[in-house]
Structure 1
Amino acid sequence: MAMFAPDYEYEETKVEVDVKGINFEATGKVEKQLGWKLLFKNQQQTKKKETVLSAMEKGQACQVNVEIAEGQTKPPKYYTEGQLINVMKHAGKEVDGEALQHTLKESEGIGTEATRASIIETLKHQLYIEIRKNQVTVLDKGKILCQAVEGTLLASPEMTAKWETYLNKIGENKGSQEVFLDRIKQMIESLMQEAPRKIGNMEQALQQVNEKSFIGDCSCCNHEDGKIQDKGKFYGCSRYREGCTFTLPKKFLGKPISQTNIKKLLNGEKTNLIKGFTSKKGKKFDAYLRYDQTEQKMTFEFPKG
């Protein structure tokens, strides 16, 4: 019935009041015709009544009572992956200058429809960010990267906008390809001169982060300094780039494996008794875990009795 009922009509007034140089805003609503809301009138009674403002004109003087309300601000909400892609697409909103905003809007922000998702996947794979309960969280490694590029053109959407603007000029024969490439060359040379200091600081901080994330030594690695660390969905060797493929799962037959038990496996010990494993046939059982170095696989040790 509400679909075919008349529209709900109201007047909304927004007022700015200057109190000794500080602007205060007030919003009021006056209902003109309930329309479809008439069908839900009983439900509406429990809701807070709308603020009603009297008729006002620009420049009119009024008496204002100002009170201080104590409270606590809330931190900004984490982005979801979908929201992060949308922010990349509309990066122009964060850029100063209407011309640059327009350019980024025309070029659809940072990346393209085909590359934005892959950019985020790369950040996840490189452990700069991770997704926790559908929320994008920056890891320690990502925070270090942010600090390393902070204040440089690499962290500036304006750079993308300016490049796009000049590329458009080249397309209109109003700019020179040589000038464009020369500016990029100058930027690269400047970044290269600044890079050693930033990279040095970043490597030192990154080493500290990695050391904190080490769980134990890699017993299967040909490198003496191979360390096992959290790789996101599993535990793996820090020397995987050099060819070490040793991994341990975070979850095994439906049960999570704690870091305490992972350390025991790395030391050649059996884990604490883990209850509730689920076999391929769906049966539940309790067991200890061991890692067989020779066979390079998990084995069970069942409690006696």
Structure 2
Amino acid sequence: MFAPDYEYEEIKVAIDVKGINFEATGKVEKQLGWKSLFKNQQQAKKKEIVLPAMEKDQACQVNVEIAKGQTKAPKYYTEGQLINVMKYAGKEVDDEALQHTLKESEGIGTEATRASIIETLKHQLYIGIRKNQVTVLDKGKILCQAVEGTLLASPEMTAKWETYLKKIGKNEGSQEMFFNKIKQMIEFLMQEAPKKIGSMEQFLQQVNEKFFIGKCPRCNHEDGKIQDKGKFYGCSRYREGCTFTLPKKFLGKSISQINIKKLLGGEKTNLIKGFTSKKGKNFDASLRYDQTEQKITLYVFLYTAYLNFTNK
């Protein structure tokens, strides 16, 4: 003999509480059936939301509680996941026709170009890879802010181009019209660029402050700031001809930003352990940048050695 079926209805209830709309989603149980045999076990598990039977426009008493919690940032993509996001970019498009077009064209890029697009972004320092996760670098954040809200950042634009290119292939569209539309779009973006630049000034200032290490001791210009350039520290006025640089690694030893700041201020660094000489011997020393000689002075216990440096 078998127990009867467990019967329930899934229901979504809209509730008006003093003019504020709330929604509740849950089950309305019609008949426990076989589930009555496991009632104690079901209570031990995570509680399901079970709503009482109710009718439309029925008045009811509700208890409203504020749940406290913290939102979690989305997980970083790996390079492989980012390629899939590019391939299935159509999922982010609301228009079903454009979504279908992107699906047919396999999203942004092709199987042959997506990996190279990511490599280009890495090489140009728009993105970086940390612990196998793709992170957007400051240069990439500036680019994102520059194109935000424009057609350049829109998967829909790719879909519309693909749609019109298919029309051209079927002799239903004009090649000249396609190029004219692109020309108009470029002209529009060029007109909008100054507005974007104005809105980005504050963000650019924050980025510059983040990369600011100290004042350039060579050009001594008010705009000459030493910044982190990735593999070395250099002057922000390099385009104006200032060639001042300091290495991040000196005689096989990484130099901390704290000690770099001391060098720029004419101070002697803390004792740094683990330098390696040309003969392969390890030694400890302090450093000081001689602004007159434009050389790094190496203080090793009982003697001082001058080492030629790149600043000439």
TM range (shorter): 0.5 to 0.7
Instruction: Specify the SS of the correspondent of 1:236.
Output: strand
1:59-109 Cα offsets, whole Å, 9 max, x none, are: xxx992699876433221122333323322322221223332332233332
1:136-163 Cα offsets, whole Å, 9 max, x none, are: 3334443343233221111101101110
In the other structure, the counterpart of 1:100 is 98
| Number of residue equivalences | 257
User: Which region of structure 1 is more displaced relative to structure 2, 251-260 or 169-178?
Assistant: 251-260
1:27-82 Cα offsets, whole Å, 9 max, x none, are: xxxxxxxxxxxxxxxxxxxxxxxx99xxxxxxxxx992699876433221122333
Identify if the C-alpha distance between structure 1 residues 100 and 297 changes in structure 2 by more than 3 Å, giving closer, same or farther. Answer: farther
Aligned alpha-carbon RMSD (Å): 3.7
In the other structure, the counterpart of 2:227 is 229
Q: Residues of 2 paired with 1:246 and 1:114: CA distance? A: 41
User: Which region of structure 1 is more displaced relative to structure 2, 287-296 or 250-259?
Assistant: 287-296
For the Cα contact (< 8 Å) 1:92–1:109, is it kept in 2? yes
For the Cα contact (< 8 Å) 1:141–1:206, is it kept in 2? no
For the Cα contact (< 8 Å) 1:129–1:136, is it kept in 2? yes
- Normalized against structure 1, the TM-score is what? 0.68
Instruction: Specify the SS of the correspondent of 1:20.
Output: strand
Shift of 1:288: 1.2
Identify if the C-alpha distance between structure 1 residues 80 and 23 changes in structure 2 by more than 3 Å, giving closer, same or farther. Answer: same
For the Cα contact (< 8 Å) 1:128–1:142, is it kept in 2? yes
> What is the correspondence of 1:159-238 to structure 2 with a 5 Å cutoff?
159-220=157-218, 225-238=223-236
Identify if the C-alpha distance between structure 1 residues 95 and 293 changes in structure 2 by more than 3 Å, giving closer, same or farther. Answer: same
- Normalized against structure 2, the TM-score is what? 0.66
Shift of 1:209: 2.6
In the other structure, the counterpart of 1:247 is 245
Shift of 1:283: 4.9
Q: Residues of 2 paired with 1:228 and 1:16: CA distance? A: 67
User: Which region of structure 1 is more displaced relative to structure 2, 189-198 or 113-122?
Assistant: 113-122
Structure 2 unmatched ranges of 5 or more: 1-7, 15-23, 28-40, 43-47, 53-62, 304-312
Q: Percent identity between the aligned chains?
A: 81
For the Cα contact (< 8 Å) 2:25–2:49, is it kept in 1? no
Structure whose alpha-carbon radius of gyration is higher: 2
Instruction: Specify the SS of the correspondent of 2:81.
Output: helix
Identify if the C-alpha distance between structure 1 residues 154 and 229 changes in structure 2 by more than 3 Å, giving closer, same or farther. Answer: same
Identify if the C-alpha distance between structure 1 residues 82 and 250 changes in structure 2 by more than 3 Å, giving closer, same or farther. Answer: farther
- Check if 1:18 corresponds to 2:16: no
Q: Residues of 2 paired with 1:180 and 1:91: CA distance? A: 23
For the Cα contact (< 8 Å) 2:90–2:98, is it kept in 1? yes
Q: Residues of 1 paired with 2:83 and 2:135: CA distance? A: 14
Structure 1 unmatched ranges of 5 or more: 1-14, 26-50, 53-61
Q: Residues of 1 paired with 2:144 and 2:227: CA distance? A: 22
For the Cα contact (< 8 Å) 2:214–2:225, is it kept in 1? yes
